[in-house]
Amino acid sequence: MRALLLALQVLGVSQAMAQETAFSRLVARFSEAGGFFDSDNLVSNETSYLHVLGAFDSLGVRGGAYVGVGPEQSFSYIARIKPEIAFLVDIRRDNLLLHLLFKAMFERSRNRMEFLGLLYGRRAPDDLAMWTDLPLGDLLVRLDETPYDSMLHGRQHTQLMARVTEYGVPLTEEDRQTLRRFHDEFASMGLDIRFSSRGRPYRFNYPTARQLYLQTDLEGHAGSYLASEDGFRVVRELERRDRVIPVVGDLAGPSAIKSIGEYLVETARKVSVYYVSNVEMYLFRQGGFPRFVENTRALPAGSNSVMVRSYFGRGGMHSQAVPGHLSVQLLQTFRSFLETTAQPDSLTYWDFVNLGHIDLRSPSRPAAALVPQRPN
């Protein structure tokens, strides 16, 4: 043990951070070596992300295990399906770090208003309990009207990091600096924070956090995890019970997804939702799609298990596109995915995103019955 602590100190990890916990053992069990993506990905850029919620309800997608990528978008899916456990997988270690900070915020927050104050460096109202059941719009107006408090933000960040340390996930000094940078960006930008990437032009038509929180499903109903106190509590209780596990992993990588599949088999659980965003587009480009298919086959699935993906149309319009949205949310059963990808090397990405998907407005029939427009 002494040799291990010495080695961790050489790597810049403090002795206090090296205390293993049941939570940190799960994180370590599923994680693999990290990779690179050209964005910090602090918030989503998928304005259509809630369009699948009605289909979740119609198809009886509920409970089980949730597996998904990215930042806070997964919280809204978790709030709706109420899984027993969730795995948040991303190729970037920085995403794991961000979710550790989110975990500390959820644990500490008595309601949505306090959570938003912690995230954005704003002082919570003195009458905090009075805000518990107010509409989300009222909470966001209150946040907008409250000035950023740099001293308060600094104190809160220190307190949150003390809790993050207790999770037992080894952190280097660089990790701590990264978390401070991320938290500072939320606090300084406020609800105007939006997705940005390195090496690509800044897109002002990407949604702000405010816009993402206020998005609706296809019926016009609010569906963000912050839309109601009940949804927020679903995520908070899973976080408090260490049932939201951040994982460093490539969806086409050597071990992360397969390890999650092995654990779910061991614990007699099946995947309810596998959210992959538009990762498959990159895997097609890089030649990793067949490995992704192989890994997906390792996840135990049932008759109601579904995959959620995002499509960003460039040069063509998808049949399920909704006017006014940059992205299209696509829903597919696991069975359909396995049938469609029986020969993954024979597929193009365009064909793939137009085969076997569920019509979100009529979940009982496949969207493949619609005629897609092939891009020029």
pTM: 0.90
User: What was the pLDDT predicted at 36?
Assistant: 60
Helix (H, G, I), strand (E, B) or coil at 328: strand
How many Å apart are CA 236 and CA 292, to the nearest integer? 31
DSSP 331: E
End-to-end CA distance of the chain: 62
335 burial via Cβ count (<10 Å: 0-12, 13-18, 19+): middle
Residue 79 · residue 234 · CB < 8 Å: yes
Query: With the C-alpha atoms ordered 121, 123, 129, 135, is the resulting torsion angle positive or negative?
Result: negative
Helix (H, G, I), strand (E, B) or coil at 172: coil
**Number of Cβ within a 10 Å radius of residue 3:** 7
Helix (H, G, I), strand (E, B) or coil at 225: coil
C-alpha to C-alpha distances, 338 to 120, 290, 295, nearest whole angstrom: 42, 12, 11
Q: What is the pLDDT along the chain (376 residues), one digit of tens a residue?
A: 444 443 444 344 444 445 899 999 999 999 999 766 555 578 999 999 999 999 999 999 999 999 999 889 999 999 999 999 999 999 999 999 999 999 999 999 999 999 999 999 999 999 999 999 999 999 999 999 999 999 999 999 999 999 999 999 999 999 999 999 999 999 999 999 997 765 555 566 789 999 999 999 999 999 999 999 999 999 999 999 999 999 999 999 999 999 999 999 999 999 999 999 999 999 999 999 999 999 999 999 999 999 999 998 754 568 888 988 989 999 999 999 999 999 988 899 988 998 899 999 887 655 443 333 444 3
User: What was the pLDDT predicted at 1?
Assistant: 44
Sheet holding 65-68, edge to edge: 244-248, 85-90, 65-68, 271-277, 301-311, 328-333
User: What was the pLDDT predicted at 37?
Assistant: 55
DSSP 208: B
E strand or H helix that includes residue 89: strand 85-90
Residue 32 · residue 193 · CB < 8 Å: no
Task: Report the phi/psi class of residue 277: left, alpha or beta, with left for phi > 0 and alpha for psi in -120 to 50.
Answer: left
How many Å apart are CA 62 and CA 304, to the nearest integer? 8
List the structure tokens of 81: 């399906």
DSSP 316: S
User: What was the pLDDT predicted at 375?
Assistant: 40
The residues, any chain, with a CB within 8 Å of residue 101's CB and separated by 6 or more, are: 160, 164, 179, 182, 183
